[in-house]
C-alpha cells in the first residue's frame, strides 16, 4: 500500500536518509530500527509530509504522493505520532483528539466527530482522563494521546515514532498489544523503536537503517541472523563501553540479558517515569 | 446540558436586551456617544481576538481594515449615494479582500516575523492612502448624508454590529473552526499533522476578522462624518485594537468585550480631559498584564474567585479540588471553572 523509492534527504552536506527503498503491504506492522541519528525520524518526516525529500518518491497505492503537505496526507489516510510528544498543551485530552476527528479523513459534524474522538480515547485507554489538560499527563499518557489523536483522523497507515520510549516494560507491552489491535482491525502501521525486543515482538517485517542507508530488511528472524545487522547494531551490545565482554549468545539471548540491557544504550531497560497522572 | 447552554447564551442575550431598551429611557447624549464608541471598539476587539487570540497570530496591522472599511463606506455613501447599510456590508467585504491580499504573503511567516510584517504593510497602506487622489489625500474625506443626523440610529447600528461580532466569536469558539484555530495557536505543525490546513485557516480567520473590523471602521466614519488617513490608518489604531483583547483576556469570548469597554471609556472620558495621558495608561496596563496576569482582567477575576473559594473551603474544612481540568466554558471566561460555581 505504501512504496518508497530511493528516498533521500540532505541537510546541507549531511545525508540523513540516502537512497532508501521499501514497500509496506496492507495489514503489516513494518518496523524500523537503527542507532541514534540513523535517519528514522527523517524518513517518517518525509513520508508524513513534514519535510520534502531531496529526491526519491513516495507512492500510496501506486499514486505519487511525494512532497504533499502533511494535512493533505492526513486526508489521504496517512497519520503520524511524534517522537517528542507534541500535544496541544492547553487543550483538554478530549479536545486534542477531537481535532483529529474533526479534521481527519472523515471530518464531519460536531456530534459524530466527538463520538469518534471518544472511541479513539477508549481504544488507547485514556477515556478516564478526557477533561484533563494535556500538559499534566505523564509521558506515557502523552504518548498514548499522540496515538489517539492520530487514530482519530481515521488513518489507513499509521506512523508511530518511538511511542514506547520512556515507558516501563509493562506499559510497553500494553502499547504493543494496542498496536496489534490497531493492525488487526485494518490499519497498516509503520513503527520506529529503539527497543529491539519490542520491535521484534510486534513487527511482521523490519528495516534496519544505519547512517541514513538501508542496511537490511526482512522478517524479525532474518534480521536477527543477518551478519551485517549483528555487526552494525546488535553486535555492539555484547561489548560494554569499557571494551569488556558482557555476555555472548544468540540475539534473542543477548537481548534479554539484564547486563546488556544496562550497557547497551536505548535498549529496553525501564526508564524513570516523569510527570504525574491526573487520576 | 440545558443548564450549561443557559449559562452560555443567557448573559449576552440579557445584556443585548438591556442595551436595546436603554435609549428608550432617555439617557444623556454623552452617554449614548460613550456607548457608541465602546461598541465600535468592541467590534474591532472581538474581531482581532479571532485571529490573535484564538489562532495566536499577533497582527499590528488591523488599522488597515479599519481604515479601508472607513474609506469604503465613506466613498460609497458620499460619492456613490449607496444605502448606508449596504455600504457597511461593502466596507466589510473590501476589508476582507484586503486581508486576503495581505495574508497570502504574510502568513508564510511565523510568530514575531508575521507581527513585524503586518507593521510594514500597515504603514505602507497609510502612506499610500495619504497620497491618493480619490480619497482626498492627507486632508481627509468629508461624508454628507441626505438624511439628518440621528444619534439613536448610530447607536443601534453600532450595537447590532458589536452583537453580531460577539455572536460570530461565540459560534466560532464552539465549533470546528475555533478548534482548528486553537490547535494552530498551540502547535501549528502538530495541527497540520492532525489534518488542519494552517495557511487556509489563518486566511479565513483573517478575513472574518477584517470584515468585522471594516464594518466597525465604516460605522465610525458615518458617525464622525469626517475621516483622514493618519487617523483611521494610524498605527495607534492598530495598537489599541490589539490592546483590548490583551487587557480583557486573550483567546476568550468575553475578554475582548471587557477590553472594549475599558478602551472605550478611556478614549471617551480620559482623552477628552487629559490628552496623551491615555498612552501612559495603556503602557502601564500592558506592563501590569504582561508581568502579573497574562490572562488579562478575566484572568484576574478568575484568580480572585479561586482565592475566595479556597478561603471559604478552608473555613468549611474542605479540601480544595485541584483546578487542573478545563471546563467546557473556559473559552468563554478564561482559565478556571465556571462563574459562580
Ligand atoms: N531538521 C534538521 N536539520 C538538520 N539536521 C537534521 C534535522 N533533522 C535531523 N537531522 C540530522 O539527520 C540525522 C538523522 O536524524 P533522525 O532524527 O532522522 O535520526 P533518528 O534515527 O530518528 O534518531 P533517534 O533514534 O535519535 O530518534 C541526524 O544526524 C540529525 O542530526
Ligand atoms: Mg528519531
- Highest mean pLDDT, choosing among A161-175, B66-80, B267-281: B66-80
Residue A41 Cα distances to A77, A193, B188, angstroms: 19, 10, 19
Number of residues in chain A: 279
- What is the pLDDT averaged over residues B235-249? 94
Provide DSSP, B66-113: HHHHHHHHHIIIIIS---HHHHHHHHHHHHHHHHHHHHHHHTTS-HHH
Walk me through the domains of chain B, giving residue ranges and CATH numbers.
10-294 (1.10.3470), 299-341 (no CATH)
Long-range residue pairs from B184-190, CB within 8 A, at least 24 positions apart, any chain: B184/B55, B184/B56, B184/B57, B185/B54, B185/B55, B185/B56, B185/B251, B186/A88, B186/A89, B186/A90, B186/A91, B186/B56, B187/A86, B187/A87, B187/A88, B187/A89, B188/B110, B189/A50, B189/A70, B189/A86, B190/A82, B190/A86, B190/A87, B190/A88
Measured at the CA of B53, the angle between CA B48 and CA B58, to 5 degrees, comes to 70
Is A236's pLDDT higher than 60? no
* Grid cell in block for residue B188: 501549528
- Separation of alpha carbons B119 and B63, rounded Å: 10
Residue B127 Cα distances to A279, B6, B113, B233, angstroms: 58, 48, 22, 9
Distance A258 CA to ligand 2 centre (A): 25
Provide DSSP, B254-315: SHHHHHHHHHHHIIIIIHHHSTTHHHHHHHHHHHHHHHH-TTHHHHHHHHHHHHHHHHHHHH
- Highest mean pLDDT, choosing among B84-93, B145-154, B311-320: B84-93
Torsion on CA atoms A103, A109, A111, A115, rounded to nearest 10: -40
- Separation of alpha carbons A244 and A142, rounded Å: 38
pLDDT for B316 equals: 77
- Separation of alpha carbons A180 and A177, rounded Å: 5
Q: Which of A37, A54, A84, A85 to mutate to test the pocket of ligand 1 (most atoms within 8 A of CB)?
A: A37
Does residue A210 have its Cβ closer than 6 Å to ligand 1? Answer: no
pLDDT for B270 equals: 83
CATH number of A2-234: 3.40.50.300
Number of residues in chain B: 341
Identify whether the C-beta of residue B246 lies closer than 8 Å to the C-beta of residue B286. yes
- Separation of alpha carbons B122 and B118, rounded Å: 6
Q: Which residue has the cell 490592546?
A: B243
Q: Where are the beta strands (DSSP E) in B79-236?
A: 141-142, 226-227
Question: What do you get for the CA distance between the two ends of chain A, in Å?
Answer: 40
Distance A38 CA to ligand 1 centre (A): 7
Is B90's pLDDT higher than 60? yes
Sort out which chain A residues have CB atoms less than 8 A from B195's CB and list them: 71, 74-75, 79, 99-100, 102-105, 107, 153
* Grid cell in block for residue B198: 494552517
Which is nearest to A123 in space by CA: A42, A72, A184?
A184
Identify whether the C-beta of residue A158 lies closer than 8 Å to the C-beta of residue A185. no
Please list the residue range(s) of chain A that carry CATH number 3.40.50.300: 2-234
H-assigned helices in A55-136 = 70-76, 93-103, 110-124
Sort out which chain A residues have CB atoms less than 8 A from B326's CB and list them: 90-92, 95, 131, 133
Using DSSP, state whether A71 is helix, strand or coil: helix
pLDDT for B96 equals: 98
At A243, the pLDDT band (50, 70, 90 cuts) reads very low
pLDDT for A115 equals: 92
Sort out which chain B residues have CB atoms less than 8 A from A92's CB and list them: 325-326
| Cβ within 8 Å, pair B193-A71 | yes
Identify whether the C-beta of residue A115 lies closer than 8 Å to the C-beta of residue B211. no
- Separation of alpha carbons B250 and A250, rounded Å: 60
Closest-CA residue of chain A to B188: A88
| Cβ within 8 Å, pair A103-B196 | yes
Question: What do you get for the CA distance between the two ends of chain B, in Å?
Answer: 16
Tens of pLDDT, residue by residue over B98-132, are 999 999 999 999 989 999 999 999 999 999 998 88
Q: How far is A179 from chain B (nearest CA, A)?
A: 19
Identify whether the C-beta of residue B212 lies closer than 8 Å to the C-beta of residue B47. yes
Largest CA distance in chain B: 73
pTM: 0.87
- For B194, the closest of A103, A131, A132 (CB atoms) is A103
| Cβ within 8 Å, pair B183-A133 | no
The answer to whether the complex's ipTM is over 0.90 is no
Tens of pLDDT, residue by residue over B195-227, are 999 999 999 999 999 999 999 999 999 999 999
Which is nearest to B223 in space by CA: B24, B38, B23, B28?
B38
Closest-CA residue of chain B to A74: B195
At A148, the pLDDT band (50, 70, 90 cuts) reads very high
Tens of pLDDT, residue by residue over B33-62, are 999 999 999 999 999 999 999 999 999 999
- Separation of alpha carbons A78 and A64, rounded Å: 14
Q: Count interface pairs A-B at CB distance under 8 A.
A: 97
Measured at the CA of A272, the angle between CA A267 and CA A276, to 5 degrees, comes to 140
Amino acid at each position: 500500500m505504501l512504496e518508497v523509492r530511493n528516498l533521500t534527504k540532505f541537510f546541507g552536506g549531511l545525508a540523513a536518509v540516502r537512497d532508501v527503498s521499501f514497500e509496506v503491504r496492507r495489514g503489516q506492522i513494518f518496523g524500523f530500527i537503527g542507532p541514534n541519528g540513523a535517519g528514522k525520524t527523517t524518513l517518517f518526516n518525509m513520508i508524513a509530509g513534514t519535510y520534502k525529500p531531496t529526491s526519491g518518491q513516495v507512492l500510496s497505492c501506486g499514486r505519487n504522493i511525494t512532497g504533499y503537505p502533511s494535512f493533505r496526507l492526513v486526508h489521504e489516510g496517512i497519520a503520524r505520532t511524534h517522537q517528542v510528544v507534541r500535544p496541544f498543551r492547553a487543550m483538554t485530552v478530549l479536545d486534542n483528539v477531537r481535532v483529529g476527528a474533526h479534521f481527519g479523513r472523515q471530518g464531519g459534524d460536531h456530534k459524530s466527530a466527538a463520538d469518534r474522538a471518544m472511541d479513539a480515547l477508549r481504544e488507547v485507554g485514556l477515556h478516564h482522563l478526557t477533561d484533563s489538560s494535556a500538559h499534566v499527563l505523564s509521558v506515557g499518557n502523552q504518548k498514548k494521546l499522540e496515538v489517539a489523536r492520530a487514530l482519530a483522523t481515521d488513518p489507513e497507515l499509521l506512523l508511530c515514532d518511538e511511542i514506547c520510549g520512556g515507558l516501563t516494560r509493562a506499559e510497553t507491552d500494553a502499547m504493543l498489544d494496542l498496536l496489534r489491535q490497531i493492525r488487526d482491525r485494518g490499519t497498516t502501521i509503520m513503527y520506529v523503536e529503539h527497543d529491539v525486543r519490542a520491535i521484534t515482538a510486534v513487527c511482521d517485517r523490519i528495516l534496519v537503517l544505519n547512517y541514513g542507508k538501508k542496511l537490511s530488511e526482512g522478517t524479525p528472524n532474518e534480521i536477527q541472523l543477518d551478519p551485517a545487522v549483528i555487526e552494525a547494531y546488535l553486535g555492539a551490545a555484547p561489548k560494554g563501553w569499557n571494551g569488556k565482554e558482557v555476555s555472548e549468545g544468540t540475539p534473542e539471548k543477548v537481548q534479554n540479558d539484564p547486563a546488556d540491557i544496562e550497557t547497551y544504550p536505548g535498549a529496553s531497560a525501564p526508564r524513570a517515569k516523569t510527570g504525574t497522572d491526573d487520576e | 446540558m440545558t443548564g450549561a447552554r443557559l449559562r452560555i447564551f443567557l448573559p449576552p442575550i440579557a445584556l443585548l436586551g438591556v442595551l436595546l431598551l436603554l435609549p428608550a429611557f432617555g439617557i444623556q447624549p454623552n452617554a449614548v456617544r460613550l456607548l457608541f464608541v465602546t461598541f465600535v471598539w468592541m467590534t474591532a476587539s472581538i474581531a482581532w481576538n479571532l485571529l490573535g487570540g484564538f489562532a495566536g497570530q499577533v497582527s499590528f496591522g488591523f488599522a488597515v481594515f479599519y481604515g479601508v472599511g472607513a474609506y469604503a463606506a465613506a466613498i460609497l455613501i458620499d460619492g456613490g449615494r449607496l444605502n448606508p447599510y449596504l455600504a457597511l456590508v461593502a466596507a466589510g467585504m473590501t476589508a476582507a479582500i484586503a486581508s486576503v491580499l495581505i495574508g497570502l504573503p504574510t502568513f508564510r511567516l511565523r510568530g514575531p516575523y508575521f507581527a513585524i510584517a503586518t507593521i510594514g504593510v500597515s504603514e505602507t497602506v497609510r502612506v499610500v492612502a495619504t497620497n491618493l487622489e480619490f480619497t482626498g489625500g492627507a486632508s481627509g474625506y468629508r461624508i454628507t448624508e441626505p438624511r439628518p443626523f440621528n444619534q439613536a440610529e448610530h447607536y443601534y447600528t453600532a450595537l447590532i454590529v458589536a452583537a453580531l461580532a460577539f455572536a460570530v466569536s461565540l459560534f466560532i469558539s464552539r465549533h470546528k473552526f475555533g478548534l482548528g484555530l486553537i490547535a494552530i495557536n498551540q502547535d501549528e505543525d502538530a495541527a497540520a499533522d492532525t489534518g488542519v490546513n494552517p495557511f487556509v485557516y489563518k486566511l479565513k480567520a483573517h478575513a472574518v476578522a477584517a470584515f468585522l473590523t471594516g464594518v466597525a471602521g465604516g460605522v465610525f466614519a458615518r458617525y464622525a462624518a469626517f475621516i483622514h488617513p493618519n487617523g483611521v490608518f494610524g498605527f495607534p489604531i492598530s495598537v489599541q485594537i490589539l490592546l483590548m483583547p490583551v487587557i480583557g483576556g486573550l483567546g476568550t469570548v468575553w475578554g475582548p468585550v471587557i477590553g472594549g469597554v475599558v478602551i472605550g471609556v478611556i478614549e471617551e472620558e480620559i482623552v477628552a480631559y487629559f490628552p496623551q495621558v491615555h498612552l501612559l495608561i495603556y503602557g502601564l496596563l500592558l506592563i501590569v498584564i504582561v508581568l502579573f496576569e497574562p490572562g488579562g482582567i478575566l484572568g484576574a477575576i478568575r484568580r480572585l474567585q479561586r482565592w475566595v473559594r479556597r478561603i471559604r473551603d478552608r473555613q468549611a474544612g474542605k479540601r480544595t479540588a485541584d483546578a487542573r481540568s478545563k471546563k467546557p466554558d473556559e473559552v468563554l471566561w478564561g482559565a478556571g471553572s465556571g462563574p459562580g460555581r
